[in-house]
Structure 1
Amino acid sequence: MAEAERIIGTPDNPEADGGEPERSGSVPGDVTGEDGQQPKGRRKIAVLFVVAAIAYAFDLISKMIVVAKLEHHEPIDVIGDWLRFNAIRNAGAAFGFGEAFTIIFTCIAAAVIVVIARLARKLYSLPWAIALGLLLGGALGNLTDRIFRTPGVFEGAVVDFIAPKGFAVFNLADSAIVCGGILIVLLSFRGLDPDGTVHKD
């Protein structure tokens, strides 16, 4: 998230940091990249929240179905024994890691949501909006389990059910987080910032 923190740290008001005042004719709140580039188009906040809402809804609905129809039942073979639906409760992080640190993972998910919310005000890039939307939707999906499911608030076990052969069991929220993270890495390698500008190292 180094790229995100760099953009977040860009002051909205140059005068507040001792910089030069905005030139006449400039639009308040505009963001300028390192190479003097101005972001193009409108902020992509709506795209971020739409993607997040879709990812969250799919995760929430799938977990409701799994709890109602699959939990405490035999696994369902989807593609032979290569892919099964097998409902389990996971107190750890994504893919079942770190079950002893449930509260820590809950705090991390909450921190991710706060960072994304701060970053949204300078978001002009469509690919970044999609990536952050996937991260936000996935984080909200698993955080909902942490808060509302047993054994208690902030210690709840996440519902996992996608079980590929020879791999950990996961859910749609985990998938959204991983896809969003991969997209962010690719965008960072290409030098595309969340504000829509391109930087050169």
Structure 2
Amino acid sequence: MQRAGGATLSEDTHPDTAVADQERAPERRRGLMVAYFLIAAFVIGLDQLTKALAVNHLDPSEPVRLLGGLVHLSLTRNPGAAFSLATDYTWVLAIIATGVVGFLILLGRKIVYPAWAIALGLVLGGAAGNLIDRVLRAPSVPSAWFEGGLGGFFTESNIGMGHVVDFISVFRPHGQAFPIFNLADSALVCGVILIVLLELTGHGFSPASRRADRSEEER
């Protein structure tokens, strides 16, 4: 069946189908937004749980050897970014992480594809997991608060200067073969890799970007 001008009238362009899709769009977006935040919450919860277990049960001087030495649990405190980068700019990293988390939270309302909910959920969870460490772990707010009371909190607070708990070291202990990391770092990297793959394979974030990619391919 054809429309005027010779174009095929497929299911995607049928008026009744288009109206139905438009009516289901808000519900679909809400579902994807919920899934997005649930993925991020799961990453944050698992990250903080494993960090708490590492802090309570690992001795920094005695790494735990797993999988025949493929992985070592080697506790350390990292003032830098993922994989111990930029260790001298902790407060700058905290500001950047806060901006990224805020942007990703707002972006959640615009997700229309499940793959992007997964990818961005991993990125949000990873960024938020490490941001929690920068805000709540020493030498950030708790140390200033408990050591100097409210006066110390307002005058000597190291807010945003908390050190991130890292404990996964691959191949050799103490990050001798590769920088030590945590589950938040892993989720963040996996999310970014998935985003790159989606973009490279023409599965853009928005329907408009996908239509543009298809138009380029047809030329």
TM-score w.r.t. the length of structure 2 is 0.71
How many angstroms does 1:190 deviate by? 2.0
Distance 1:154 1:71 in 2: 25
Does 2:108 align with 1:97?
no
Q: Unmatched 5+ residue regions in structure 1?
A: 1-25, 31-38
Kept after mapping to 2: 8 A contact 1:41/1:124: no
How many angstroms does 1:49 deviate by? 0.5
Distance 1:184 1:148 in 2: 29
How many angstroms does 1:110 deviate by? 1.0
Q: Which of the residues 44, 47, 50 maps onto 1:62?
A: 50
Superimposed CA distance per residue, residues 153-194 of structure 1 (whole angstroms, 9 cap, x where no aligned partner): 200000000000211100000000000000010111122232
Aligned length: 167
Q: Unmatched 5+ residue regions in structure 2?
A: 1-17, 141-158, 172-176
The one-letter amino acid paired with 1:141 is G
TM-score w.r.t. the length of structure 1 is 0.77
How many angstroms does 1:40 deviate by? 9.5
Distance 1:114 1:53 in 2: 15
Alignment-derived partner of residue 28 in structure 2: 42
Alignment-derived partner of residue 178 in structure 1: 189
Distance 1:169 1:72 in 2: 12
How many angstroms does 1:85 deviate by? 0.3
Superimposed CA distance per residue, residues 64-105 of structure 1 (whole angstroms, 9 cap, x where no aligned partner): 100000044510000233310000000000001110011111
108-117 or 95-104, larger mean C-alpha shift = 108-117
Q: CA RMSD in A?
A: 2.2
133-142 or 41-50, larger mean C-alpha shift = 41-50
Kept after mapping to 1: 8 A contact 2:60/2:74: no
How many angstroms does 1:112 deviate by? 1.2
Alignment-derived partner of residue 165 in structure 2: 159
Alignment-derived partner of residue 18 in structure 1: none
Kept after mapping to 2: 8 A contact 1:128/1:194: yes
How many angstroms does 1:41 deviate by? 7.0
Kept after mapping to 2: 8 A contact 1:45/1:121: yes
Based on CA coordinates, which of the two structures has the bigger radius of gyration?
2
Alignment-derived partner of residue 113 in structure 1: 101
Alignment-derived partner of residue 122 in structure 2: 134
Specify which structure has the bigger relative contact order, considering alpha-carbon pairs within 8 angstroms and separated by 6 or more residues. Answer: 1
Higher helix share: 2
